[in-house]
Amino acid sequence: MALLEFTDHGIYCPQADVYIDPWKPVKRALITHGHGDHARAGCDYYLCTRSAHPVIRYRLGPIHIETVDYGETRLINGVRFSFHPAGHIVGSAQIRVEFQGEIWVASGDYKLEDDGLAEAFAPVSCHTFITECTFGLPRFKWQPQAQIFSDINGWWTQNQQEGKISILTGYALGKAQRLLQGLNPDIGPIFAQGAVENVNEVLRNQGIRLPKTTRLAQQTKTKQLTGGIIITPPSALGSPLIRRIAPASVGVASGWMAESATLQSFKADRGFALSDHADWDGLNSAIAATGAERVIATHGYTAQFSQWLREQGYDAHAEKTLFEGEVLETDLELE
């Protein structure tokens, strides 16, 4: 029997009778991070990292939730569980599972570049590694974060000179705060759409420092936005509040912006390939660092990536999950 199994409710540990990031309600859920495809409502009990707890509580409401520090061990029916930094967003974790000398790690979502906001990714040695591969093709290779933010601030400055208001999209949880951290506040005022500002408040209340932002509201006058930039979830672009803002230039921050066709289909003015997921090199580096012999690829280019891993000598295969990865069509964090 495998230490972790893929079931219709999620990734299951039979020995401990717990699930990791279940996509259906279960009795006991271990949660890697607060994004909506990993932390779902309806479970009887939740366990997450201390720094992920505030936003999960904010999103899911009055739930029974306990927390652990990174590296702390929780013993459940003889199985040792511990949470380790994944570098994806604040509080995100890989979950290490050990029983009778067998060690598995479920990666959740992760990235290797230290963005200065999320706890930096730390590889965990294991026999089997369950990895996401949202961007599991060789064409996805990210530029350093500093270069991307230089481009974003340059775009904002140019818009300002042309009399345009800058509108930049990013998920309300994670990407939006990373964008805020990289903006140069000396350029102009920074505004946050309501869903973004709600998350900002949760993170600030737990001691995370973010630049000053003003909540975008119906009563916000266009002249107040002059020279400024608005951070908003992708799904809010079609809202009356955003559509009335003119003249404006729209930018999209997503790993999918590495593909020019995606930018064209999104009808944005600029795309910035900034992702909170590992690129091709990051995925391969992370897997090598675990020392794992067996790799299970989930959500993303699973068939192609697992085939590549087999060619490199790994015992690798793909498993289907309901995790979304990084998407443009919907915003999982708007609620």
Query: Does residue 45 contact residue 56 with C-beta atoms inside 8 Å?
Result: no
pLDDT value of position 161: 97
Dig out the tokens for 200 from the structure: 């900002």
Report the relative pairing of strands 294-300 and 128-133 from DSSP bridges.
parallel
* CA–CA separation, 268 and 254 (whole Å): 12
Whether the model pTM is above 0.75: yes
pLDDT value of position 327: 59
pLDDT value of position 1: 67
Q: Which of 121, 53, 39 is nearest to 91 (CA)?
A: 53
pLDDT value of position 260: 74
Query: What b/e string do you get for 128-153 counting C-beta neighbours within 10 Å, with b at 16 or more?
Result: bbbbbbbbbeeebebeebeebbebbb
Question: How many Cα atoms occupy the beta-carbon half-sphere of 173 within 13 Å?
Answer: 27
Residues pairing with 30 in the sheet: 20, 47
pLDDT value of position 259: 85
Strands (E), the chain: 5-6, 11-13, 18-20, 28-30, 45-49, 65-68, 73-76, 79-85, 93-99, 102-106, 128-133, 165-169, 190-192, 214-215, 229-232, 248-253, 270-272, 294-300, 315-318
| Domain range list for the chain | 5-139+276-318, 145-272
Successive 10-residue mean pLDDT values, the chain, 335 residues: 93 98 97 96 98 97 97 98 98 98 98 98 98 97 98 98 97 97 98 97 97 95 94 93 94 92 79 97 98 97 98 97 64 35
Distances (CA, A) of 115 to 109, 191, 273, 274: 15, 21, 14, 11
Amino acid at 199: V
pLDDT value of position 231: 98
The answer regarding whether domain 5-139+276-318 maps to CATH 1.10.3720.10 reads no
CATH number of 145-272: 3.40.50.10890
